[in-house]
Amino acid sequence: MRVVSFRQNGKTDWGIVSEDRIRVAGDGYPATVLQLLEQDAPMDILSRLQADPDATSVPLNEAELLAPIPRPRKNVICLGLNYAEHARESLQTKGLAVEMPEHPVVFTKSTTTITGPYADIPLRSQVTRELDWEAELAVVIGRGGRDIPEAEALQHVFGYMVLNDLTARDLQRRHKQFFLGKSLDDSCPMGPWIVTADEVPDPQNLNVRCWVNGVLKQDGHTSQQIFPVARTIALLSQIMTLEPGDIISTGTPEGVGFARQPPEFLSAGDVVECEISGIGLISNSIVAV
Ligand code: MG
């Protein structure tokens, strides 16, 4: 199933996509997707909504889709250098030794980065002149836990989304630590929906692509991840409790702008599209503010 949060006529709701309409979760359902995930059996609630003869529906193309979880409990948890070829291009460009990480590189993006799958991305040129793209597979945690065994980790996944980990490379460089360069407001579009995990039998068998103004820039595959989804969940949960609605973005393949010769960055008017096979496509315009 595809779970969406959306706004229509000034009201925010959630629902499930059924063909070209959204079945709206109204009275009698959890108020938000985050509250849905806090229930014992969210998939049963989705099945009830799908079969509910009283559910109203709205045309998908008349609703403004929002990030499926507009405000999770935690920052978005992100892996860096999780694809070998991207690790190589990044380290080479920075003049560093090319060594694959033995342990995942983990940073976060502030919750205020989260924005919709088709939202405009503000570019404040006084803050950054090096805005870059990173198409990624994002995981949404369903059932929380700590010390989750790798063999059981995928049972804790509620579903998957497309995410663009937009990054200000100049801020990332200037402030050393990743947080500021990764935390520009509205620099984390995601969605367009959460595809529930039952429809993604193998998260390590997905194409990850990014286009800028229609030109293919990234063309990776999740089989190339150094730390697969299950191992990542197991490792993270040894350190912190994972909670329903936590979002883990699993890193980007090669083809980012700063590692190109010459380097390329996003400008006002550019359109960035990120797509994951079997999940969907997000498309965002860069707008000067
Ligand atoms: Mg990234």
Distance 176 CA to ligand 1 centre (A): 16
Q: How remote is the CA of residue 188 from the centroid of ligand 1, in Å?
A: 10
Closest CA to 10 of 64, 71, 72, 69: 64
At 100 the pLDDT is: 87
Could you tell me if residue 71 is inside a domain? no
Q: Same domain, yes or no, for 57 and 85?
A: no
pLDDT digits (tens, 9 = 90+) for 191-244: 999 999 999 999 999 999 999 999 999 999 999 999 999 999 999 999 999 999
Residue ending a domain, choose from 15, 37, 66: 66
Q: Is residue 267 part of a domain?
A: yes
User: What CATH number has the domain bearing residue 173?
Assistant: 3.90.850.10
Tally DSSP H helices, then E strands, for the chain.
5, 19
Residue 271: which residues within 8 A CB-CB, separation 6 or more? 212, 213, 214, 283, 284, 285, 286
Spacing, Cα 252 to ligand 1 middle (Å): 5
Give the Å distance between the CA of 156 and the centre of ligand 1.
Answer: 22
Query: Is 80 found in the same domain as 145?
Result: yes
Q: Which residues surround ligand 1, an ion (CB under 5 A)?
A: 134, 165, 252
Contact (Cβ atoms closer than 8 angstroms) between residue 199 and residue 43: no
Question: Are residues 98 and 240 both part of a single domain?
Answer: yes
CB neighbour class for 94 (10 Å; exposed up to 12, middle 13-18, buried from 19):
exposed
Please report the pLDDT score of residue 174 as a whole number: 93
Q: Which pLDDT value is given to residue 68?
A: 98
Q: Are 92 and 187 members of one domain?
A: yes
How many whole angstroms from 253 Cα to the centroid of ligand 1?
Answer: 9
What spacing in Å lies between the alpha carbon of 205 and ligand 1's midpoint? 19
| Residue after which a domain boundary falls, among 66, 101, 121 | 66
How does DSSP assign 37-106, residue by residue?
A: HTSS-HHHHHHHHHH-TT--EEEGGGSEEE-SSSS-SSPEEEEES-BHHHHHHHHHHTT------SS-EE
Ligand 1 geometric centre to CA of 283 (Å): 17
171 is a domain residue? yes
| Cα(69)–Cα(127) distance, integer angstroms | 27
Answer yes or no: do 51 and 173 share one domain.
Answer: no
Q: Is residue 261 part of a domain?
A: yes
> Can you give the residue range of the structural domain that contains 146?
76-288
191's CB contacts (< 8 A; 6+ apart) are: 4, 65, 66, 67, 68, 116, 117, 161, 162, 280, 282
> 58: CA distance to ligand 1 center in Å?
34
Distance between CA atoms of residues 109 and 126, nearest Å: 20
Ligand 1: distance of its center to the CA of 6 in Å?
Answer: 25
* 150 and 263 together in one domain: yes
Shared domain for 133 and 255, answered yes or no, is yes
Residues in the chain predicted with pLDDT less than 70, given as ranges, are none
224 belongs to a structural domain: yes
114 shares a domain with 46: no
Query: Measured in angstroms, how far is the CA atom of residue 122 from the centroid of ligand 1?
Result: 19
- How many domains is the chain partitioned into structurally? 2
DSSP-derived 3-state class of residue 178: coil
Same domain, 165 and 137: yes
Report the alpha-carbon distance of residue 159 to residue 19 in Å, rounded: 19
Based on the fold, state whether residues 11 and 56 are members of the same structural domain.
yes
Ligand 1: distance of its center to the CA of 47 in Å? 33
Q: Are residues 247 and 279 located together in one domain of the fold?
A: yes
